[in-house]
Amino acid sequence: DTGVSQDPRHKITKRGQNVTFRCDPISEHNRLYWYRQTLGQGPEFLTYFQNEAQLEKSRLLSDRFSAERPKGSFSTLEIQRTEQGDSAMYLCASSLVTSSGEQYFGPGTRLTVT
């Protein structure tokens, strides 16, 4: 296994459009996390899944954001009606339940909203 992968790596979209990102975690990891990182800041937690159940959501996750992990494997993060303030790096991480702080990150999807 080569680690967490994310697709696409870069996305440029116009304001008001919908975008969807995909994350494939490390295969034996049952927890999957989404974070957002803006320039000069550390990553900020958005939400996480344990298997297919979405267990926690940050208040940063507005109703324009939705995440799914339908079969407990890969996950998607959709942003509807994008705004310029959504421009950021979207990071996915995965871990085992037994060592949930030991999270391994993917390369990120850089979103630019014009």
Partner 1 sequence: QKEVEQDPGPLSVPEGAIVSLNCTYSNSAFQYFMWYRQYSRKGPELLMYTYSSGNKEDGRFTAQVDKSSKYISLFIRDSQPSDSATYLCAVEGSQGNLIFGKGTKLSVKP
Residue ranges in contact with partner 1 by CB under 8 A:
4, 6, 31, 33, 35, 40-45, 48, 55-56, 58, 91, 93, 99-108, 110
Q: Are 10 and 110 in contact (CB under 8 A)?
A: yes
In the chain, % helix, strand, coil (3-state, to 5) comes to: 5, 50, 45
Closer CB to partner 1, 43 or 113, in the complex: 43
Q: Are 109 and 9 in contact (CB under 8 A)?
A: yes
Shortest Cβ 27–partner 1 spacing (Å): 17
Shortest Cβ 52–partner 1 spacing (Å): 16
Shortest Cβ 95–partner 1 spacing (Å): 9
What's at 43, amino acid-wise?
A: P
